Structure 1
């Protein structure tokens, strides 16, 4: 089963989807159309998503990033991905997942 999570301030720009499969097969998808977003708006939206779903992200074994279009916001998207990946690694090292 796939659950698509949306917030009004990210609608049409950012969608997060998490599957409720076991943690060993868990997957978090971040989908963004970079051509339609300003760099700061993308970073802010990803920050909200990361904070809101941090617990779910930390519980996942696999984190995947899908970029539909390259553009000036690519660095912001990569930075947000790196932060979530780092948090996941820290949680794994601490035995929380």
Structure 2
């Protein structure tokens, strides 16, 4: 298992790749459509996890939490996992579209 992100690494995983458009000539290619759908689902998962962690963080602050949120490490872990997965899927999709 990979270690949790360190504060010095925060922000590395904020950007997600764009989901490329599939040309109409490739719309029948099941591999292309499958990888694109997986990429979209992964990006949606990232957004829902970010929202869930933000809600937990807000509750923590409302209860009087001060300083660095205990949820920031979890947010960065989710961001690292989803960004690396999304980059891998985007690379696969790019290769499939060029072949």
Bin for the TM-score computed over the shorter chain: 0.3 to 0.5
Structure with greater Cα Rg = 2
Please state which structure has a larger fraction of its residues in strand. 1
More helix by share: 2
TM-score, normalisation: structure 2: 0.32
Higher relative contact order (CA 8 A, sep 6+): 2
